[in-house]
Structures are given as C-alpha cells and as structure tokens.
C-alpha cells in the first residue's frame, strides 16, 4: 500500500515513464454526453464506520469501491468488524454487508490509512471504543496532514495515545472498551473532519458528547456541509444530535440503529465531467442527481453558472451546458474546498481573472493544493498565484507539458480538464484517481470519445 515519497509542490521529482497519461484533447469539439459516477466517498466511509458501531448487521447499496473505501473496510476488519461483499444492483461493484465490531479484548493491530482523511481522522475515536492497542500510519504525505486536534481530543477524553509529540501519524490508540465522553473544545479550522470524527463515535461514549469549536482568530469550521452530512447521517440512524447553538454539537448517548441504505453517487467526483462541458462549450448530464443532499458537490449548481455555464436540475438529471466564452469567477469556496482543484482548472482556461477565497485549509489536504495548483497551472504557461486564503488565476496562453499530481486524485483530474483544451498535456500518475474514482480514466475517455461524435 505504501506510495513512494510524494514530491513537494513545484519540485516534482523524476517521473516514471509508465505513469505518464496523455490527456485526451477535445480541441474545438464540444464534449457532450451523460454519465453517472460511483458512490460518494464521504457517505460510504461514514456509513461503513457507523455500521461497525451499530446494533445489528447493516447493508450499503451502491457503495464506493476505491482506495479510500477499501482502507476503511480494512481498518474496520482490523477492529473486528465483519465486512462482506454481496451482489447488488450498482454499476460500479457489489454491495457491502457489515457486522458490528465486537467489544472483547484483542491483540494489537495496525491500521493503514493511506492518504485517506476519513480513515486517519474517523477511525481513532472508534479504536478507543475497542479493547485493543491500534497503531495508525499512512503514506508519507499522510504523515504531514493535520491530526493533532483528534489526538488531543482523545487524550482530553481520557484515552491513551502514544505519538512522537507532534500529534501526527504514526500514533497508537490504547482502547479500553469505554470512553466517558462529556464536554470538549477543539479548534477545527484545519479540517471539518476533526468535528465529524468525534461526532461519529460520540453516541457510543458513556455520556455522549458536547463538542465546541473555538477557532484561532475567530475562524470557522471549513467544509461545513460535511459536518451537516455527519449530523444528518447520525439522525437518520436514530441518534439525537442538537446543533442549534452555532459551533456546538450535542450528541446524546445511545444505540446506532442498524440500517440498509443506498449511497448517493459522488457529486464532487462528477465535477471534472461537468467541467468538461464548461471548458469545451459542450453539454454533460448526470442522471440520479439527488434532489436534496448534504454533499458539498451539490455546490456545482451555483459554481458552474458563475463561469457563464447553464446548469439545470430537472427530473432528477443535472445538466450543464458550457458557455461560448468561459468567464473568470470570484468565489468563496470555504463550504466546498474539495471542489477547488477542478474549479482552479476551469479558471486556468477562463478569459478573465479569477479569485478563489476561503480555502487556506487546502494546504493540509492530500498535498498542499494551493502550492500544487500554482505550480502546475504555471508549468503549462498559466498565471496563478497564492494568496493567504486561496488563489488568483489570470488568463495566459497555455501550452502542453507534464502536469504533476502529487499523489492527489483531484490534482490529476484537474490536469485532465486543462488537457481537454490545451494540446499535449500529459498527466503524471493518473492512477492516483483510484483514491476515490478508479474508473476515472475509462469514464473520461468514454465521455471525450462521445464528444468527438457530437
């Protein structure tokens, strides 16, 4: 599972030849077509985790099957949960049936987090509820992702955690089978996942949890739709959550009801395909778009029209029609930071300057995404610059070149979007899209081919 050391943004090391992917070039042809994408990473990994805490066997229909979901499955199996693949109706793999993790004492285990934020942040509080020592580690790039608020929170709750003092991977959680819970204050300006991690395990804490966020300099929690997703999933499973006080969540202790759910498709991963319509003046439809959802990817409805595209949700199908000329945008992406690489790729080919704000925390994502986007946009002739909390991207004549992906699935797909309209863009390590969308190269080739016939 180990990946080689990820290159620092702007200083990408030698690129193995087999990992170079010539990005399909659409030229002046509009890309048009319809597709659905695999299940949501965020929903799949929340449901998997909650299934391990539930009061009976659970089923996930049409879940995601990707590196991040497999790492979650492996983590839960290491904690004693039974996870089985069973045939289902999905286009992208089997359903998953999960039996809850037992509470008996067990041998020490290791959990490999890869580069998955949902595994490295969500699983440690669950490990605290087992009666085992659980060691967490991950890819080299994962060892620099922010983790300290979760480690500190566990200690404040009385859980033993051994680390090297920096509050980062690797560390060992010493589960005793019980966590008292109670009141806790954290700073979640670095990631909404710190809040979600504690809320997801909280119904199984003896006293539940009252969690408060107090951000340095009064800053808020980024990616709030993901916290809302956590709250709504918990409520759906019978957990009492009170979020009426801003920046505070109260979770009552109690059972997590066993469930059988269908996982929504991943709306963030639909983004690069919708962006293909925007940058080529084409038309891309995504059927089975949920009418109401907590996924941050629902923000495409507001983001893509800002570039001049038309976006319409009708009869459950979301359709985006690209403009003749893509205009630049001024957007606060604090609610939907994971969409930023795709948005920045569109900005790079827009006809007027763009400013993206509210995304300082992207420096702690799979890579420092602000530095990586600036390096790669500029490498192909663009004019991008970092600001304190985002990016400025100005129009510039782009040319071909190697687009580095830094082990970051969304950097890789951003390169594919640019390569649609800039000839000879070669994306390094397209296989890194397997983090959340292993089907990306095949789905992309199919859509661009269809665009050729349009």
Ligand X SMILES: O=C(O)C1=C[C@@H](OP(=O)(O)O)[C@@H](O)[C@H](O)C1
Catalytic residues: 338
**Pair 200, 230: CB distance under 8 Å:** yes
369 sits near ligand X (criterion: CB under 6 A): no
Q: Which residue is nearest to ligand PEP (CB)?
A: 117
Cα 201 to Cα 122, 180, 273: the distances in Å are 8, 12, 35
Q: How many residues at the interface with ligand PEP, by CB under 6 A?
A: 9
Backbone phi, psi, residue 425, to 5° = -90, 130
User: Taking CB under 6 A as the rule, does residue 365 contact ligand PEP?
Assistant: yes
CA 189, distance to chain mean position in Å, is 17
41 vs 59, which CB is nearer to ligand PEP? 41
Task: For CA atoms 67, 73, 79, 80, give the dihedral sign.
Answer: negative
Beta strands in 141-247, from DSSP E residues, in sequence order:
160-162, 171-174, 182-186, 209-213, 241-242
Touching ligand X, residues 157-196 (CB under 6 A)? 191-193, 196
Does residue 328 interact with ligand X by CB under 6 A? Answer: no
Q: What are phi and psi of 360, to 5 degrees?
A: -55, -30
Q: Is residue 118 at the binding interface for ligand X, with CB under 6 A as the rule?
A: yes
Give the nearest distance from C-beta 235 to ligand X in angstroms.
16
Helices (H) and strands (E) in the chain, counts: 12, 23
**Residue nearer to ligand PEP on the CB measure, 219 or 410:** 410
The least distance separating ligand X from the CB of residue 77, rounded to whole angstroms, comes to 20
Of the candidates 95, 93, 38, 84, which has an alpha carbon nearest to the alpha carbon of residue 61? 95
Interacting positions 89-118 with ligand PEP (CB under 6 A): 115-118
State the DSSP code for 131.
Answer: B
Q: Total binding residues for ligand X by CB under 6 A? A: 13
Task: Give the one entry of ligand PEP, ligand X, none that residue 116 binds, where binding means its C-beta sits below a cut-off of 5 to 8 angstroms depending on kind.
Answer: ligand PEP
Rule CB under 6 A: say whether 367 interacts with ligand PEP: no
Q: Which residues contribute to the annotated binding site?
A: 41-42, 46, 117, 145, 191-193, 223, 338, 365, 369, 410, 435
| Other CB atoms within 10 A of residue 239 CB | 24
Displacement of CA 52 from its chain's centroid (Å): 21
Residue 406, phi then psi, degrees to nearest 5? 55, 35
- The position carrying tokens 């890819």 is 139
Query: Could you say which of ligand X, ligand PEP, none residue 319 binds, taking C-beta under 5 to 8 angstroms by partner kind?
Result: none
Q: What residues from 406 to 445 belong to the interface with ligand PEP (CB under 6 A)?
A: 410, 436
Name the binder of 223 from ligand X, ligand PEP, none, CB < 5-8 A by kind: ligand X
Establish if 338 lies at the interface with ligand PEP (CB under 6 A).
Answer: yes
Contact between 66 and ligand X per CB under 6 A = no
Cβ burial, residue 144 (10 Å; 0-12/13-18/19+): middle
The entry of ligand X, ligand PEP, none near residue 226 (CB within 5 to 8 angstroms by kind) is: ligand X
CB-wise, 62 or 321, nearer to ligand X?
Answer: 62
Nearer to ligand X, 231 or 418 (CB): 231
Examine residue 265 and tell whether it contacts ligand X (CB under 6 A): no
Q: Interface residues for ligand X in 224-263 (CB under 6 A)?
A: 226
Q: Is 246 helix (H, G, I), strand (E, B) or coil?
A: coil
Strand pairing report for 283-286 and 425-428: unpaired
Using CB distances below 5 to 8 A depending on partner kind, what does residue 342 bind out of ligand PEP, ligand X, none? none
Using CB under 6 A, list all residues that contact ligand PEP.
Answer: 115-118, 338, 365-366, 410, 436
């Amino acid at each position: 599972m180990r990946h080689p050391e990820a290159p620092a943004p702007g200083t990408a090391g030698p690129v193995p030849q087999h990992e170079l992917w010539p990005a399909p070039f659409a030229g002046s042809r509009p890309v048009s077509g319809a597709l659905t994408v695999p299940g949501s990473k965020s929903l799949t990994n929340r449901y998997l985790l909650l299934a391990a805490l539930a009061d009976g066997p659970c089923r996930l229909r049409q879940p995601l099957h990707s590196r991040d979901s497999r790492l979650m499955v492996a983590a839960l199996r290491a904690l004693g949960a039974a996870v089985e693949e069973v045939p289902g109706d999905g286009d992208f793999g089997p359903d998953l049936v999960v039996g809850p993790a037992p509470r008996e004492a067990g041998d020490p285990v290791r959990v490999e987090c890869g580069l998955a934020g949902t595994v490295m942040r969500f699983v440690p509080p669950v490990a605290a509820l087992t009666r085992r020592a659980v060691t967490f580690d991950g890819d080299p790039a994962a060892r620099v992702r922010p983790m300290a608020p979760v480690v500190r929170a566990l200690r404040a709750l009385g859980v033993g955690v051994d680390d090297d003092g920096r509050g980062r991977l690797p560390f060992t959680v010493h589960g005793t089978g019980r966590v008292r819970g109670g009141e806790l204050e954290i700073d979640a300006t670095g990631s909404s996942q710190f809040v979600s991690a504690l809320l997801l395990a909280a119904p199984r804490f003896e006293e539940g949890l009252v969690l408060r966020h107090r951000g340095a300099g009064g800053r808020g929690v980024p990616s709030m739709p993901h916290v809302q997703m956590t709250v709504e999933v918990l409520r759906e499973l019978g957990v009492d959550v009170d979020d009426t006080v801003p920046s505070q969540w109260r979770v009552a202790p109690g059972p997590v009801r066993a469930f059988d759910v269908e996982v929504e498709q991943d709306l963030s991963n639909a983004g690069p395909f919708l962006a293909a319509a925007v940058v080529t003046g084409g038309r891309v439809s995504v059927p089975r778009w949920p009418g109401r959802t907590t996924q941050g990817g629902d923000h495409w409805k507001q983001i893509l029209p800002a570039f001049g595209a038309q976006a319409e949700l009708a009869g459950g199908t979301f359709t985006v029609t690209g403009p003749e000329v893509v205009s630049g945008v001024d957007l606060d992406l604090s609610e939907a930071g994971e969409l930023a690489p795709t948005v920045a790729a569109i900005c790079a080919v827009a006809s007027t300057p763009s400013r993206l704000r509210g995304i300082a925390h992207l420096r702690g994502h799979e890579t420092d995404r602000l530095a990586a986007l600036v390096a790669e946009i500029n490498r192909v002739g663009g004019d991008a610059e970092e600001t304190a909390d985002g990016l400025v991207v100005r129009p510039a004549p782009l040319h071909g070149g190697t687009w580095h992906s830094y082990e970051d699935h969304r950097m890789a797909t951003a390169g594919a979007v640019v390569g649609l309209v800039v000839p000879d863009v070669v994306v390094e390590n397209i296989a890194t899209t397997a983090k959340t969308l292993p089907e990306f190269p095949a789905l992309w080739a199919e859509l661009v081919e269809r665009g050729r016939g349009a």
